[in-house]
Amino acid sequence: MNILTIDGNNLVHRVYYVAKNLPYRTEYLHVYMFLNSVKSYIEMYRPDKVYCVWDEKLDYKPNKRLEILPEYKGTRDKEKGREVHTKNNLIKELLQSMGIPSIFPREYEADDVIAIINKEIDHDRHTIITVDRDLCQLIDEKTVVYDAIRKLELNLNNFEEKLKYSKEQFVKIKAITGDKSDNIPGIKGFGKKKIEKYFNGDVDFNDDERKLFETNLQLVSLIDSGEESEYVKSQLDNCSFKTDWTFFMQKVEELKFNNIIKSESTWYATFFQTNRLLELLS
């Protein structure tokens, strides 16, 4: 099976700020851009199933990473975040009508949910759509990451060339260098040369550095929590890939997405035709 997973929060942030800076911006422009992006990914990879994963929690529990580091993601602008996500429910409705279910975390994050999908859904190929390099730790013989900004597929063959470190070193490098966007502190003094010496066995951490490294390793590693996995698996077992062309077109007309209306036959062929044929044959 060929599956495709979209990092929903990552994509909505990208299209929102592109739309915001356009002179012809409208209230729902980023929603149209989100849908159009999804269409382009599906036309590119022709998956059998598509999932969209979000950071929002339907059954809210505090983020487990905050127990490890209370300052985790503490520098994020929450007001800007709320602004970006005001139309997320509409996007999810439209995605579901296109046969794309939304999947959510409970105590962790979208990245962890994507890792669970990668583990639990039997696949011959799994394409993850995100510009978040943390998800590159999932790359293997069957799993690739597509960076839509750089229009670059990251895979085992180009991993070291594009990411500058080997797959085996990748998560440890993240733990050493930290992550400013997530407010994860790096280990001071460990630049590229010292990191190389560490991996060559020429230098080691002192006690404080090792403690920080082990903490960071928990923060940057994608989780394998039994409870979270069961929560996500329950969603996967019960999600629907059924499409609803009538609802989709009604919403498109209400929102005045004229480019979709003008090319509705291609949208029907991409999202609805195959699904309808399967329904008739079943």
Q: What is the pLDDT of residues 168-207, one digit of tens each?
A: 999 999 999 999 999 999 999 999 899 999 999 999 999 9
Predicted confidence at residue 206, as pLDDT, reads 95
Mean pLDDT computed over 41-47: 95
Residue with tokens 């382009």: 40
The torsion of the CA quartet 272, 112, 79, 16, rounded to 10 degrees, works out to -30
Q: For the chain, what percent of residues have pLDDT higher than 90?
A: 87
Predicted confidence at residue 24, as pLDDT, reads 86
CA 174, CA 219: separation in Å to the nearest integer? 10
Q: 2-162+224-277 has which CATH code?
A: 3.40.50.1010
CA 16, CA 36: separation in Å to the nearest integer? 13
Confidence of residue 274 (pLDDT cuts 50, 70, 90): low
Residues of the chain with CATH 3.40.50.1010: 2-162+224-277
Confidence of residue 93 (pLDDT cuts 50, 70, 90): very high
Predicted confidence at residue 140, as pLDDT, reads 96
Q: How many residues does the chain have?
A: 282
Those residues whose C-beta lies under 8 Å from the C-beta of residue 90, and which sit 6 or more positions away, are 28, 31, 251
Predicted confidence at residue 281, as pLDDT, reads 38
Predicted confidence at residue 275, as pLDDT, reads 60
CA 145, CA 131: separation in Å to the nearest integer? 8
Burial of 86 (0-12, 13-18, 19+ CB in 10 A): exposed
Residue with tokens 């942030």: 13
What is the pTM for the complete model shown? 0.93
Predicted confidence at residue 277, as pLDDT, reads 43
* Cα distance between the two ends of the chain: 19
Mean pLDDT computed over 224-248: 94
Mean pLDDT computed over 258-262: 97
Nearest to 148 by CA among 128, 174, 134, 162: 128
Predicted confidence at residue 276, as pLDDT, reads 45
CA 134, CA 148: separation in Å to the nearest integer? 15
Phi-psi region of 76 (alpha: psi -120 to 50; beta: other; left: phi over 0): beta
- Quick check: 268 and 126 in contact, CB under 8 A? no
Confidence of residue 79 (pLDDT cuts 50, 70, 90): confident
185 DSSP 8-state letter: P
Predicted confidence at residue 282, as pLDDT, reads 40
